[in-house]
A = this chain, B = another copy of it.
Amino acid sequence: MTTQLIGLDWGSTHLRAYRFGERGLVEEVRTLSCGIRELPAGGFAEAFMQAVREWPQVPVLACGMVGSRNGWLEVPYLDTPTRTDRLAAALKPFTAPDGRTVHLVPGLRDPGRPDVMRGEETQVAGVLAQFPAASHRGQLLLPGTHSKWVTVRDGAITGFATVMTGELYGLLSRHSILGASLPPAVDDDAAFRRGAATARDSGAAGVLSRVFSARTLMLDGTLAPASVADYLSGLLIGDELRVALAAGWIDAREPLLMVGDAALCSRYLKAAEAYGLQLTRAPDATTARGLWLIAVEAGLVTTRATA
């Protein structure tokens, strides 16, 4: 098989490089722990050369924080609403030290809030190709450090919002009075569900009216110190769903798709049960799919290949 394209999913913490064959088949994946946050000044070229070493001289398409202000080259955000064709038309090309042309996918900006994303737009492109119904009219949840809630209408991302659930969890569990100096965490499904139910029951006041309970329940002896982490996780993920409902990001008449890490998605599915919410998990690996689709749309690959 002939290599057609190299795709890069280059975020804050990781660089994932895909070698695509005919019809967008992923023939090889390399994962490097050289996200843009870890790189030394001028480290982009070197990390890039390492990621693509010995691969053929084909076009490169890259998405994620690599196109941010602190990235290799800044690509301006594209305002919503946006479809894949607009992303493809706005790629920013430049020449890497090895002579390859690297095309950067722009991030998106929702001018209404405002809010921004980089990388998720490509993931969403990959999801929508697989779920025509959601592509027509639906909601996507991409949980993570900065969870994204994305609204889709007629194949276009029309708006989105960020909730910093993962980052907040990290801060509270590592640095706050709630989580610091606790024994190592153990998995505690009941504690997680208790947290999610507490967030749900907080109503319009929301989880910040209840988050101190992670400490008081422990002092009270009804929450084991090693279970505080799962309780806190349930509180924050449960509150993210409460927020999404209160903010009108979820419409029960539309499909709600979720894409992300398996372990994290299973937490969201559990929290969704507390609300009687229907979440459908889409297969991960949608970023590779999205990169290929954008490359096809941009004419970077000569293809009988339709994705």
The interface of chain A, by Cβ under 8 A from chain B, is 69, 109, 113-116, 146, 161-165, 167-168, 171-172, 175-178, 203-213, 215-217, 219-220, 239-240, 243, 246-247
Contact = CB atoms under 8 A, between A and B. Distances in A.
Contacts of A171: 171-172, 175-176
A75 to B, nearest CB: 13
Given A114-B213, A146-B212, A205-B246, A69 B219 contact: yes
Contacts of A219: 69, 116
A164 to B, nearest CB: 6
Copies of this chain assembled into the complex: 2
A177 B205 CA distance: 25
Given A176-B171, A213-B114, A216-B114, A207 B208 contact: yes
Contacts of A203: 204, 246
A209 B116 contact: no
A277 B114 CA distance: 28
Given A208-B243, A212-B146, A167 B163 contact: no
Nearest to A203: B246
Contacts of A176: 164, 167-168, 171
Nearest to A171: B171
A115 B216 contact: yes
A113 B216 contact: yes
A211 B175 contact: no
B164 A212 contact: yes
Contacts of A207: 206, 208
The 9 closest A-B pairs by CB, nearest first: A205-B247, A206-B206, A204-B204, A204-B246, A162-B212, A205-B246, A171-B171, A209-B243, A114-B216
A164 B113 contact: no
Nearest to A222: B114
A171 B176 CA distance: 8
Contacts of A212: 115, 146, 161-164
A204 B207 CA distance: 11
B116 A161 contact: no
A176 B146 CA distance: 11
Given A146-B177, A163-B208, A167-B177, 17 more contacts: A69-B219, A115-B212, A115-B213, A116-B216, A116-B219, A146-B212, A162-B212, A162-B216, A164-B176, A164-B178, A164-B211, A204-B204, A204-B206, A206-B206, A206-B207, A206-B208, A209-B243
